[in-house]
Amino acid sequence: MSSITLRDIRKTYANGPRVLHGVDLDIGDGEFVVIVGPSGCGKSTLLRLIAGLERCDDGEIVIDGRRANALPPQDRDIAMIFQNYALYPHMSVLENIAFGLELRKVPRKTREARARAVAETLQLTPYLDRKPGALSGGQRQRVAMGRAMARETSTFLMDEPLSNLDNALRNTMRTEIKTIHQQLGATIVFVTHDQTEALSLADRIAVMKDGYLQQFDTPAAIYDRPANRFVASFLGTPKMNFVTAEAVTGWTGRRGVEVGLRPDTLRLHRKKPGVASIEARLALTEMTGSEVVLHCQTQSGAMSAIAHRGQDLPAPGDRIWLEYDVAAAHLFDMQSGARV
């Protein structure tokens, strides 16, 4: 296993803006860390710096206790899995998995045995003689993972590896990646813009925005105690509702703050309840399975709430009240966006 420490990492591309502004991260041995954020936030650049594919302008990268700033990629004991799989189309599945070992002059019998063992773990044994063009997207992704696993490295870097898959395959591959991590105990750094992947996979999540690290904590801590308004709005489906304190009926808290209310903490009422609530009009409903998302209009703007399908739900256009719990509310400074 391997630990990774990043200290004050800064990166500016030639004739362009600075893309990383003093990022600090401590990634422990065997930890599964997901770096998440919108496009252009610097998450893939950070991954490439760890891999050695690019050099940082300032700061220090330490891998397994060794300063790695000047180390070439092949000397960092890191395997990288890319978004586009990067498989060799003229090679079979077996040859693709074993190729990295071949480059390292591993004897043929040893590398084929290792490749077959990895293929069995990834349920690829029936496809060992096939070329990548004869595989599904999910199978090709597993081959790319197998090539990295065959190296028996201590660290895996994954750059949006599931973004080219359909939703069903993404769900399946999330489970497989989590299972593989538990089996190998390796350190994994996984980059994505998908907050569902981040919440479901990570031991800890690093949330990025505009080249700055916003928060680095467990999924539960980030969801329950977001550091600022951006983190609160980015993590969670449906998104958190935001209203000014003055607009919330019965609110007795501070002024100059926004109140953040998670849709799953709101309770639907047909008549005005004798507790803190917001008057709304139901605009439309959206079924997501066992739950229904209620999209509402209020004097403070659009709000969402979650109800169960078994409830007696109102019809679009109906007047309703959304009960909220003051203890479950999040407060954010209206100027800085910081949690207060």
Which pLDDT tens digit goes with each residue over 274-284? 878 899 999 99
Confidence of residue 176 (pLDDT cuts 50, 70, 90): confident
Q: Tell me the range of 88-102, 138-152, 203-217 where mean pLDDT is highest.
A: 203-217
Q: Are residue 170 and residue 221 in the same domain, yes or no? A: yes
Q: Are residue 114 and residue 209 in the same domain, yes or no? A: yes
For residue 340, being part of any structural domain is answered with no
- CATH code of 44's domain: 3.40.50.300
Predicted TM-score (pTM) of the model is 0.88
Handedness of CA 109, 113, 118, 122 (dihedral sign): positive
Residues 238-267 have a mean pLDDT of: 81
Domain count, the chain: 2
Is residue 252 scored above 80 in pLDDT?
no
Residues 195-216 have a mean pLDDT of: 96
Is residue 245 scored above 80 in pLDDT?
no
Rounded CA separation 128/208 (Å): 39
Contact 9, 211 (CB under 8 A): no
Domain boundary among the residues 199, 227, 255 is at 227
Which residue range(s) make up the domain with 57?
4-227
Confidence of residue 253 (pLDDT cuts 50, 70, 90): low
For residue 339, being part of any structural domain is answered with no
Contacts of residue 180, Cβ cutoff 8 Å, sequence gap at least 6: 121, 122, 145, 149
